[in-house]
Amino acid sequence: MPFRVRLRRNRGRWLRRLFIAFVAFLAVVCGAAVVAYKLTVIPEPHPETVVQSTVFVDAEGSYLGRRGPVDRQEVPLSQVPRHVQDAVIAAENRSFRTDTGVSPRAIARAAWATVSGGAPQGGSTITQQYVKNALLSPERSLSRKAREALIAIKLDRTRDKDEILEGYLNTVYFGRGAAGVQAAARNYFDVAAKDLTVSQGAALASIVNIPSYYEKAGSDPKVTAKLRHRWEWVLDAMEAGGSITAGQRAEARFPAFRFYPPGGTEGQRQYLIDVAAKEAADRLGITEDQLARGGYTVHTTFDLALQDATAESAKERTKGGSGGGGSGGKGGVRVHTAVVGVEPGDGAVRVLYGGADYARQPFNDAVSGAVEAGSVLDPFAGVRLGGPLRGLRDVAAPTPLRLASAYAAVAAEGVHATPHTVARITREGRTVHTARPETRRVLDEKGAFVVTAQAKGPGFEGSSEAGSPGVDRAGVRDGGGAFLTAGAGGGITRRTVWSVGYDSRLTLAVALFADRPGAKKGTTVPAQLPNDPSPAGSAEELTRQIWDLAGGS
């Protein structure tokens, strides 16, 4: 039989065999996929993706800083505005609400890149990104990519889309060390996630694409311009998808960003966080490490605007001979500045300046510095003191915080309030601690009057009825308070200068003191304050500036 005839007769047989083999292969592959899917277990999130930091804010809610290994705080999806959710979906995965959790085209592209050694490919769905970032290791291989797809499909079939989006928004990295939308909102715009505007939400959604590059937005013109271009693209996609109206799109303005990297005052705030963290942990009955990892928000009593202004004023007023908390001078003399502002009758600490450079000196002079009292306690002479003030006159070296709280009691007509730096603590939107003033009468009203009269009397620099030179005392007189300048030592041997001002609204204590290296390594001993500029003049002027900034005049 001719070969062509045999080939014609056998071709149908071979085609049938190939078809059967293909169907069998397909059945095996599908069966294997079904078995693999059935055996696939959705893993728990990595520990590092669920650990949270604790955030500290000032009395008005402005971001102060954080404690914890990762800058992340979980928020329920209900606290993320819908326009922010829609912005992320528009930027990262526009079919998120309807897809199956995977993008076959993106998987094929990524698989080919892995096999061929090409550059890593993006384009994964939001579900896949969540699986990759929170549930799996960053390993790059075909088997890991296949597992990622299987978990994403199973996650999509067993979890609600909102639950997946919530997990993604709480773990995705936004740059600036911020993981999750809550930390990102704080780091970029100094607001909580729930307060993000349409423009801010679109900006954060734009950053997710290349967070390590875009984190410099606002400080690097080139980066800012590129991010603005992507921001426009995200907003256009939101309008096209019906997430925002044409009017909202037209009204959108590119947002202003917090400067990055942070400035010098950021480091100075660590003094505040140290004190508030210790107090918060004590109030909750946990360790400071547990607090740092607990995802709390600590609402402090500090006035951050006044605190930063105080830091700048201290730096300016004490340039030259008297450093703002740690400058070195002749003979190794180092001048320290400590400032405490307390609300009389409540004990809320509004200002706490413990040093100029936390990195060089983590020791807080305002809270822990034992400063020579000298004549600053003389106004309490002959007055009967009780409670926390009992024995005050016998203290040779009170801390600035203790001195401020003592004069605050005088300003509150004899009622002492224990100083506190924590007003409220919340966790996941729930209040777990609220501070209540701890008050106690420590001297009668007559005693408070006597202290104020003696503070205004002779023997104190700038202590007349009208106050010290250059200081408007109208608010102090009306509030029944006083200003005085006193200290330890005199003339060219002055070792400490105190400037204290108080009325019914605020008690302010400023201390200048000096030390120098001791005989033993790592020790210090008290030293004389440099006379240029005048320590008393510097302390009084600093007090005046802070008082005016606080609205005391």
In 3D space, the residue among 340, 454, 459 whose CA is nearest the CA of residue 403 turns out to be 340
Stated as kind and residue range, the H or E segment containing 313 is helix 304-317
Helices of type H across 348-413: 365-368, 400-411
Question: What number of H helices and E strands is found in the chain?
Answer: 21, 14
Identity at 446, one-letter amino acid code: K
From 3.40.710.10, 3.40.640.10, 3.20.20.140, 3.10.129.10, which CATH number describes the 304-416+442-549 domain? 3.40.710.10
State how far the Cα of 495 lies from the Cα of 371, in Å rounded to an integer: 9
Predicted local distance difference test score (pLDDT) of residue 75: 92
Q: Is the pLDDT of residue 159 over 50?
A: yes
Q: Please, which pLDDT band fits residue 24 given cuts at 50, 70 and 90?
A: low
User: How far is Cα 319 from Cα 316, in angstroms, rounded to an integer?
Assistant: 6
Which range among 245-249, 460-464, 524-528 shows the weakest confidence by mean pLDDT? 460-464
Model confidence pTM above 0.85: no
Whole-number pLDDT of residue 146: 77
Say yes or no to pLDDT of 264 above 80: no
Q: Smallest Cα–Cα separation from 154: which of 31, 26, 36, 28? A: 36
Mean pLDDT, to the nearest integer, of 275-287? 96
496 DSSP β-pair partners:
488, 513
Task: Say how far apart CA 254 and CA 199 lie, in whole Å.
Answer: 6
Give the model confidence (pLDDT) of 435-486 as tens digits. 999 999 999 989 999 999 998 876 666 554 333 333 333 334 444 678 898 9
| Residues 49-62, mean pLDDT to the nearest whole number | 90
| Structure token digits, residue 400 | 């600035």
Fill in the amino acid letter for 385: L
**Over 70: is that where the pLDDT of 198 sits?**
yes
Asked whether residue 23 carries a pLDDT value surpassing 70, the answer given is no
Check residues 480 and 174 and name the one with the higher pLDDT.
174
Catalytic residue among 124, 199, 206, 375: 375
**Among 533, 532, 514, CA closest to 524:** 514
State the pLDDT confidence band at 514, using cuts at 50, 70 and 90: confident
**What is the rounded distance in angstroms from the CA atom of residue 320 to the CA atom of residue 318?**
6
CATH number of 71-251: 1.10.3810.10
Weakest mean pLDDT among 71-75, 326-330, 531-535: 326-330
Q: What is the pLDDT of residue 306?
A: 94
Q: Which residue bears the tokens 């199956």?
A: 100
What percentage of the chain carries pLDDT values higher than 90? Answer: 49
User: Which two tokens mark 201?
Assistant: 């939400």
pLDDT at 466: 33
- Residue 502, C-beta contacts closer than 8 angstroms, at least 6 positions apart: 344, 407, 408, 410, 411, 476, 481, 482, 483, 508
User: Tokens standing for 208?
Assistant: 């997710």
Of 302, 303, 277, 299, nearest in space to 290 by CA:
277
Q: What is the pLDDT of residue 541?
A: 87
Half-sphere exposure of 516 (CA within 13 A, CB side): 11
Question: Considering only 29-33, 166-170, 238-242, which range has the smallest mean pLDDT?
Answer: 29-33
Structure tokens at 285: 């009955």
pLDDT category, 334, cuts 50, 70, 90? confident
Average pLDDT score, the chain = 83
Output 130 or 349, whichever has higher pLDDT: 349
Give the H/E segment covering residue 273. helix 270-284
Q: Please, are residues 369 and 277 in contact by the beta-carbon 8 Å criterion?
A: no
Which residue matches tokens 């600490």?
Answer: 349
Name which residue leads in pLDDT, 29 or 416: 416
Provide the pLDDT for residue 356. Answer: 84
Identify the residue with better confidence: 70 or 470.
70
Structure tokens at 436: 């209540």
Q: Which CA distances in Å does 423 have to 279, 346, 349?
A: 10, 11, 10
283, 215 contact by CB (below 8 A): no
Question: Where residue 550 falls among pLDDT bands split at 50, 70, 90?
Answer: confident
- Segment 343-371 shows an average pLDDT of 91
Listed residue (287, 68, 284, 91) closest to 186, CA to CA = 68
Burial class (CB in 10 A: 0-12, 13-18, 19+), 288: middle
Q: Which of left, alpha, beta for 413 (phi over 0: left; psi -120 to 50: alpha)?
A: left
**For the purposes of burial, counting CB atoms within 10 Å of the CB of 360, is it exposed (0-12), middle (13-18) or buried (19 or more)?**
exposed
Instruction: Identify any residues that bridge with 524 across adjacent strands, giving them in sequence order.
Output: 517
Q: Give whichever of 43-57, 248-262, 327-341, 404-418 has the largest mean pLDDT.
A: 404-418
Instruction: Give the Å distances, CA to CA, from 377 to 13, 335, 490.
Output: 111, 22, 16
Provide the pLDDT for residue 491.
63
- pLDDT at position 31: 55
pLDDT at 478: 43
Q: 375 an active-site residue?
A: yes
Supply φ then ψ for residue 505, to 5 degrees.
-100, -40
Return phi, psi of residue 261, to 5°.
-70, 160
For position 477, what pLDDT does the model report?
41
pLDDT beyond 90 at 126: yes
Tell me which of 53, 74, 92, 166 is the catalytic residue.
Answer: 92
Three-class secondary structure of residue 212 per DSSP: helix
Closest CA to 417 of 278, 308, 301: 301
Please tell me the predicted confidence (pLDDT) of residue 244: 95
Whether residue 421 contacts residue 303, with contact meaning beta carbons closer than 8 Å, is answered with no
What is the SS3 assignment for 160? coil
Query: Is residue 406 over pLDDT 60?
Result: yes
pLDDT for res 553: 41
